[in-house]
């Protein structure tokens, strides 16, 4: 299949292309290497489409979003195959088909949301109404870990609120987004949804989007470093921003937890998508009374997980997505092995594979604990006082998610309330939902996604005094 950018509702061929690697080996495909001129054309198309799209009724916008949801469902398997080819995650387990299921669920739920006029006052002195109005062109910059699902998280609320979109996926995983946008243009008016891609070497399209005067909002999912650059570039044009950035999520296991009962939840909290998930469990603090039992149960469960190429229907975990991430995990694990106790794994595999790794005997200050590893390596830290654990969990510049594990829900909730993070789970980790706002505190982000609160981030407020 030949992949093209979509600008103004039509394929937009590029003068050059770049290779997109398959993390399991070989080539996933070739993507168009867009230019700054392509970006300008995409923004102009989105601006032109905004004039009529923003005037549609809420009912019409909802119907279009429902058609988008149906189109995603219709092509779910095709897109799952593309995700596996370029991202590396398995088709099965919590892999590409799981991602497409999430994309459909989020699209369907968002299509049904609305932000009705809010009456602030209606009395003899007058009537005051709060209206939510679309912003204009939304620029979406997506990462390589969940290329289709995160694209849906960005696109659907923008469309539902009457905005138009220019999306730029990661150069590591552009193919599934190019195909997604081409498919959605079959049911959307021309110019409403545009897609540009580039290798980030010839032209840095993301940086240009952040500064582009024709873009009114940037929604970004990715690293803290890139998010900070976006904030700086967006300041002169006062863009609205939603930034969902890195997390170094901590989990605290209280002494009354049942190690066998929580082992599976702990494993998937940490190793979902091979640990390449912003809100994955990255640091695990376990009370000394059950530390060894929790470690043993985790290792026992981890040994049952098949690792292999994503295209193999029996694989549950695949390779890491790219060489840079593989090198980072390898470095952090090598340093951790020198100090800590290696309980499982620890060895880089062939190519970009890295076996699930669990290391005990570490503390805050060790690189595997302090840095977001974004890979299949979990440090387990022993503690003897819950105050110590809370302080250690909060001792990070990040604050995306956290979790508390206990057989006493009330006690767990008391501890959870003291964690400095945007989302906190009890006896699970990372279980986000389309009806619950999701976002980070501290350095993990700005604004929220999902639900009515997330939808409102794509609007300006206008108050009408009558």
Which residues participate in catalysis according to the annotation? 244, 278
Residue spans of beta strands (DSSP E) within 22-160: 27-32, 118-123, 126-134, 137-141
Helix (H, G, I), strand (E, B) or coil at 367: helix
* Separation CA 409–CA 424 (nearest Å): 13
Going by their DSSP bridges, the two strands 377-383 and 281-287 should be labelled as parallel
User: Nearest Cα to 268, choosing from 317, 226, 202, 213?
Assistant: 317
Cα-Cα-Cα-Cα torsion 47, 48, 54, 60, nearest 10 degrees, comes to -130
Question: Alpha carbon of 398 to those of 178, 198, 331, 420: distances in Å?
Answer: 32, 29, 21, 9
CB 377 within 8 A of CB 332: yes
Residue 360, strand partner residues = 341, 380
* Separation CA 187–CA 199 (nearest Å): 28
Concatenate the DSSP letters of all residues of 190-223 into one string. TTSEEE----SSS--HHHHHHH-TT--EEEEES-
CB 275 within 8 A of CB 377: yes
Q: Nearest 5°: phi and psi at 262? A: -100, -5
């Amino acid at each position: 299949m030949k992949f093209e950018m979509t600008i103004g509702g039509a394929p937009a061929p590029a003068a050059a292309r770049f290779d997109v690697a398959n993390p399991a080996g070989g080539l996933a495909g070739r993507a168009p290497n867009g230019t700054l001129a392509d970006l300008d054309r995409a923004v102009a198309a989105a601006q032109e489409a905004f004039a009529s799209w923003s005037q549609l009724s809420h009912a019409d916008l909802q119907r279009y979003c429902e058609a988008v949801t149906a189109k995603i469902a219709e092509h779910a398997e095709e897109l799952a195959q593309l995700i596996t080819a370029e991202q590396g995650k398995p088709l099965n387990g919590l892999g590409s088909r799981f991602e497409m299921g999430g994309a459909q669920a989020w699209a369907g739920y968002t299509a049904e949301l609305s932000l009705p006029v809010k009456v602030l006052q209606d009395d003899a002195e007058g009537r005051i109404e709060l209206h939510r109005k679309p912003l204009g062109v939304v620029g979406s910059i997506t990462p390589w870990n969940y290329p289709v699902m995160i694209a849906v998280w960005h696109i659907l609320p923008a469309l539902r609120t009457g905005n138009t979109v220019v999306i730029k996926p990661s150069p590591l995983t552009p193919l599934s987004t190019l195909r997604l946008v081409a498919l959605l243009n079959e049911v959307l008016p021309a110019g409403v949804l545009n897609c540009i891609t580039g290798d980030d070497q010839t032209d840095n399209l993301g940086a240009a989007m952040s500064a582009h005067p024709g873009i009114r909002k940037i929604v970004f999912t990715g690293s803290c470093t890139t998010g900070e650059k976006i904030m700086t570039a967006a300041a002169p044009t006062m863009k609205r921003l939603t930034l969902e950035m890195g997390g170094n999520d901590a989990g605290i296991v209280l002494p009354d937890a049942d190690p066998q009962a929580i082992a599976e939840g702990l494993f998937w909290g940490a190793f979902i998508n091979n640990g390449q998930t912003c809100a994955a469990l990255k640091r695990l603090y376990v009370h000394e009374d059950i530390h060894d039992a929790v470690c043993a149960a985790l290792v026992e469960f981890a040994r049952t997980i098949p690792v292999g190429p994503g295209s193999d229907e029996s694989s549950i975990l695949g390779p890491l997505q790219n060489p840079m991430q593989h090198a980072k995990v390898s470095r952090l694990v090598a340093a951790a092995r020198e100090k800590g106790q290696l309980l499982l794994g620890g060895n880089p595999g062939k190519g970009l594979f890295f076996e699930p790794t669990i290391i005990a005997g570490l503390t805050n200050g060790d690189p595997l604990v302090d840095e977001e590893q974004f890979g299949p390596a979990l440090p387990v830290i022993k503690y003897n006082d819950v105050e110590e654990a809370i302080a250690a969990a909060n001792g990070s510049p990040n604050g995306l998610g956290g979790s508390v594990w206990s057989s006493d829900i009330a006690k767990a909730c008391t501890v959870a309330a003291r964690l400095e993070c945007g989302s906190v789970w009890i006896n699970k980790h990372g279980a986000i939902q389309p009806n619950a706002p999701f976002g980070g505190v501290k350095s993990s982000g700005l604004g929220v996604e999902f639900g009515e609160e997330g939808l409102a981030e794509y609007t300006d407020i206008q108050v009408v005094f009558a």
